[in-house]
Amino acid sequence: MRRIADRLVIAGVGLIGGSLAMALRARGAVGEVIGLGRSAENLRVARRRGIIDRAERDPERAARDADLVVVAVPVQTIAPVVSSLMRALPPTAVITDAGSVKSSVVAAVERILGDTAGRFCGSHPIAGTEHSGAVAAVPDLLEGRRCVLTPGPRTTAATRRRVHALWEAAGMRVEEMPAATHDRIFALVSHLPHVAAFALVNAVADVDQQGTRRALAYAAGGFKDWTRIAASSPEMWRDICLANREELLRAIDGFSAALERIRDAVGLGDAAAIAAELARAQVTRRRLGTAPPPPAVRLRARRGARRSRGR
């Protein structure tokens, strides 16, 4: 495996940053790995697990002599972290991020980099679990998953190549698209489903508070599956909502319209119209196939847990 960096800085040694470092190290693709973070405890875990060689809480010390930087922090913090690294970062060092929103993040980072924005290329490695922190990192988290790069008009060809090589070295399938396209797609297939899951849980809790207080006790397999994501970090999702606001609003409105069509058909007792809406969804959904299980589920499965789905 070709070495993709002699000195790699991972800013934010969480699930993504930590798993990336583990994958690169396992393949001998990096020299020294420096972990930058605010939490001394998380950095300690990262060092203890052999994820990083050196822990830094000071951005300038971390940036010195680095040749590649991955900013794997919450979307609202990416630009400020890049800013904090700039004073000490060598001019040849390439920078990328791991944010799940791109247009606003890329714009903010490019404003900070000014004339040197050619050294930056936005990335979104599409992976994760509901767990977080260095403690949750695993070397195969990114393996075989997609990573979307959103190079801007100023990103140099050399930067693109470096960032491609970075994620490919971690086993990812890398592709490129404009940041705006990325944000429209992920508003639909990721941000909207999260918002809808949060709303669904709240709707049930609202009714329980008004009266019966019993519905949640009957939340079985299906409900749990599709609201599992509502247990995700509210802060992270608040930031994603704000960072991808326009596209998310558009996605919510499209969803509300689709819901309203079914509601109207049910309200009218129009069996044919209900069936038409549901059948259209079924055909579309079946094309997607079944998702493989999350790691937590695999663990339980091995322990022989069983389940069936409530209707």
Q: Whose Cβ is closer to a second copy: residue 88's or residue 177's?
A: 177
2 binds a second copy (CB under 8 A): no
Beta bridge partners of 174: 147
User: Contact letters (x/-) for a second copy, 269-308, by CB under 8 A?
Assistant: x-x--xx-xxxxxx-xxxxxxxxxxxxxxx-xxx--xxxx
Beta bridge partners of 10: 35, 70
**Of residues 253-272, those binding a second copy (CB under 8 A):** 253-263, 266-267, 269, 271
* CA–CA distance, 25 with 139 (Å, rounded to integer): 9
* CA–CA distance, 89 with 168 (Å, rounded to integer): 24
**Of residues 15-34, those binding a second copy (CB under 8 A):** none
Whether 93 contacts 69, CB under 8 Å:
yes
Distance of CA 270 to the CA centre of its chain: 40
Q: Whose Cβ is closer to a second copy: residue 77's or residue 100's?
A: 100
Chain position carrying tokens 């558009």: 250
117 binds a second copy (CB under 8 A): no
* CA–CA distance, 269 with 169 (Å, rounded to integer): 55
For a second copy, which residue of 130, 132, 165, 173 counts as binding (CB under 8 A)?
130
156 binds a second copy (CB under 8 A): no
44 binds a second copy (CB under 8 A): no
**Of residues 50-109, those binding a second copy (CB under 8 A):** 100
For a second copy, which residue of 39, 116, 132, 227 counts as binding (CB under 8 A)?
227
Torsion of CA 127, 133, 138, 142, to 10 degrees: 20
DSSP 145-213: -EEEEE--TT--HHHHHHHHHHHHHTT-EEEE--HHHHHHHHIIIIIHHHHHHHHHHHHHHHHHHHS--
Beta bridge partners of 30: 5
CB of 106 to a second copy, least distance (A): 17
For a second copy, which residue of 6, 129, 158, 161 counts as binding (CB under 8 A)?
129
User: Contact letters (x/-) for a second copy, 132-151, by CB under 8 A?
Assistant: --------xxxx-xx-----
Q: Whose Cβ is closer to a second copy: residue 61's or residue 298's?
A: 298
Structure tokens at 117: 């924005």
Q: Whose Cβ is closer to a second copy: residue 92's or residue 202's?
A: 202
For a second copy, which residue of 86, 88, 165, 252 counts as binding (CB under 8 A)?
252
CB of 298 to a second copy, least distance (A): 5
Piece in contact with a second copy (CB under 8 A), picked from 29-37, 157-165, 166-174, 238-246: 238-246
Piece in contact with a second copy (CB under 8 A), picked from 5-13, 79-87, 105-113, 198-206: 198-206
Q: Whose Cβ is closer to a second copy: residue 107's or residue 189's?
A: 189
